[in-house]
Structure 1
Amino acid sequence: MESGNEEEKFRKNRIKHLKKEYGHMDQIYKNKWLSLFVAVLAVFIFIDLSNAMADSDPFYPGFIKLQETNCIVMDDFEIRKLPQDWYKYKGFVKKCPLKKDATSQSDYAIVSIWAYDYLQARGSMVWEDFPLPLIVDAQFNPVGVFPEIYPMDSPTHLIVYYGKWQGDIPGEILIDVSNPAVSGDYYYEPLIWDKKTGKYEMKDRQDKSGPRPTMHREKKSKQ
């Protein structure tokens, strides 16, 4: 009986000792997972902020620069939804989604002919009367028209920005033009989304010589 009491006493003392010696490990284990969670969360926040900063263009704060590399060749089914004069350019017609960020969906896109690629494939550099780029909705209904071919007209290069969001719709599309001719670079008035008509309108389609005024850029970015 006395031997049993000694064993029980030893067992209790041993448990007490182990709790004292290793009890803090449970807290360390909990803290470890908490630290891991915080670290993973920080990574996701960093990636999200990086994407937002990458999407917003420093030259036009609040606007995103349209990247040619994000434009996708349209298939035959999609091209058949466009006006008939687009059909002959199959394989060279691309749609450029107007996305808010890299992961978002978009119901609007710019549709244009990669004119130089088309001419090179034909082995001719004789410029054609190409259809002007369209802004289309998800059903490929035209809701706006560009004044020149994107990305390359003859001999100009269009640089496009979009922003001033109204929900998932870019409220403005800016078109700057790089022009190697003596007359130099120019720009156009913004294409502005009209809620009433459901279309993009450009108040004045006459090009403006020189770079877009700084005051205009600042005013637009703050609205």
Structure 2
Amino acid sequence: MTLTPATRALWLAPLLASAALPALARSDFIQLRPAHCEAVGSTAPLPAELEPYRPAVRACPLVRPARPSQPAQVRLLSVFTEEYYKDLPANAPWQNFPLPVLVDTAGRCVGRLPHLFPVDPPQELIVRAGQWRNGIPHELRLQVLSPAVSGNYTLPTLRWQTKAQAYQPVTSTAYNTPSTAPAKDKTPCP
């Protein structure tokens, strides 16, 4: 069946008039910027594995720019490797840093990223948060920028699971993840 432009317009008119289209047309994803992360205070509670790195740990609030007055419901706690090494000798050994942790307002672990943020030299992790509901990003998209021959790759998306009150990776065969991607951390959230 061939549709004329006029017939196509008749079929599309209800869809174009629906309220769902603006949500599909615009992207509410924000990119987490390391510059917006802040040092954790000396008394702020941290998961035990982050404690030895406290001076280099940064808290990154996941908030929508359109609602900056709304407090963050989820924060990313991460060891900033460049901050950790800035005052150490050039030949300082590389540490086996704990992976970044996502925490809620009560400090409860609600997820973990599978890669250091913002950098795991020479790679950089890009975190995009979106699909916001009640101040919580329900989807975290992760991309690793890598100068290696294999190039950039995408890590599994983390989705908010309301029943579990936690982020879970979305399993898919569509991800371009090289075999050199960091191994999945088996450490349970505190």
After TM superposition, the score normalised by the length of structure 1 is 0.62
Alignment correspondent of 1:94 = 58
1:139 maps to which of 85, 106, 115: 106
The CA RMSD measured in Å over matched residues stands at: 2.0
Alignment correspondent of 1:75 = 41
Would the aligned equivalents of 1:184 and 1:209 in 2 still touch at CA under 8 Å?
no
Alignment correspondent of 1:62 = 28
Cα deviation, 1:24-75, whole Å, max 9, x if unaligned, reads xxxxxxxxxxxxxxxxxxxxxxxxxxxxxxxxxxxx9220111111100001
| Residue 183 in structure 1 maps to residue 150 in structure 2 | yes
Alignment correspondent of 1:46 = none
Would the aligned equivalents of 2:30 and 2:128 in 1 still touch at CA under 8 Å?
yes
Would the aligned equivalents of 2:56 and 2:83 in 1 still touch at CA under 8 Å?
yes
Alignment correspondent of 1:130 = 97
| Residue 153 in structure 1 maps to residue 120 in structure 2 | yes
The residue identity in structure 2 corresponding to 1:99 is V
Alignment correspondent of 1:195 = 162
The structure whose RCO (Cα within 8 Å, separation 6+) is larger is 2
1:120 maps to which of 76, 82, 86: 86
Q: In 2, Cα distance between the equivalents of 1:172 and 1:85? A: 25
The residue identity in structure 1 corresponding to 2:42 is D
Q: In 1, Cα distance between the equivalents of 2:33 and 2:172? A: 23
Q: In 1, Cα distance between the equivalents of 2:140 and 2:101? A: 12
The residue identity in structure 1 corresponding to 2:130 is G
The residue identity in structure 2 corresponding to 1:105 is P
Q: In 1, Cα distance between the equivalents of 2:75 and 2:172? A: 20
Q: CA deviation at 1:203?
A: 2.8
Would the aligned equivalents of 1:111 and 1:134 in 2 still touch at CA under 8 Å?
yes
Q: CA deviation at 1:205?
A: 9.1
| Residue 208 in structure 1 maps to residue 172 in structure 2 | no
Q: Which has the higher helix share?
A: 1
Q: In 1, Cα distance between the equivalents of 2:110 and 2:54? A: 21
Which structure is larger by alpha-carbon Rg, 1 or 2? 1
Q: CA deviation at 1:208?
A: 2.1
The residue identity in structure 1 corresponding to 2:50 is W
Q: Report SS of the residue matched to 2:120.
A: coil
Q: Which has the higher strand share?
A: 2
Give runs of ≥4 in structure 1 deviating > 3 Å.
204-207
Of stretches 86-95 and 192-201 in structure 1, the one that deviates more from structure 2 is 86-95
Instruction: Give the paired residue count.
Output: 149
Of stretches 124-133 and 171-180 in structure 1, the one that deviates more from structure 2 is 124-133
